[in-house]
Amino acid sequence: MVQKDAWSSFIRGTFGPLRRQKTLNLGWVNYFPKEFVQNGMPEELEAIGVTVEPFAEGYILQLGPSLGDVKTDFRTFSELRHQAKGVLGRERFVIEEEPLLTG
């Protein structure tokens, strides 16, 4: 079926993903292309405590000062990830909510 859809797209001259692409979740460090982190988002992310660094054709996002903090204080990491998803758009993630915060 996917092959048939791909051939159909080729004949029509349309290219791109066959389905809406999503990212599973935010990790402690993430790389996203510039199209994903749109105007104003870097400043909003930095305002909530996410480190945003331009890199190549996109941005590296770091949620917290140390990877060890994820283990020692997961709740704070989870809260920051929840806020960051709010800026980036929850619909872009397979896991939209934080179980610790909603359960």
- Tens-digit pLDDT profile for residues 87-101: 999 999 999 888 776
Q: Is residue 99 part of a domain?
A: no
Query: Is the model more confident about 16 or about 44?
Result: 44
Domain range for 75 is: 2-92
Q: Is residue 41 part of a domain?
A: yes
Q: Is residue 98 part of a domain?
A: no
Q: Is residue 75 part of a domain?
A: yes
Strand partners, 51: 62
Reported as a pLDDT band with limits 50, 70 and 90, residue 2 is: very low
- Are 39 and 9 contacting, i.e. CB atoms less than 8 angstroms apart? no
- Are 64 and 80 contacting, i.e. CB atoms less than 8 angstroms apart? yes
The total domain count for the chain is 1
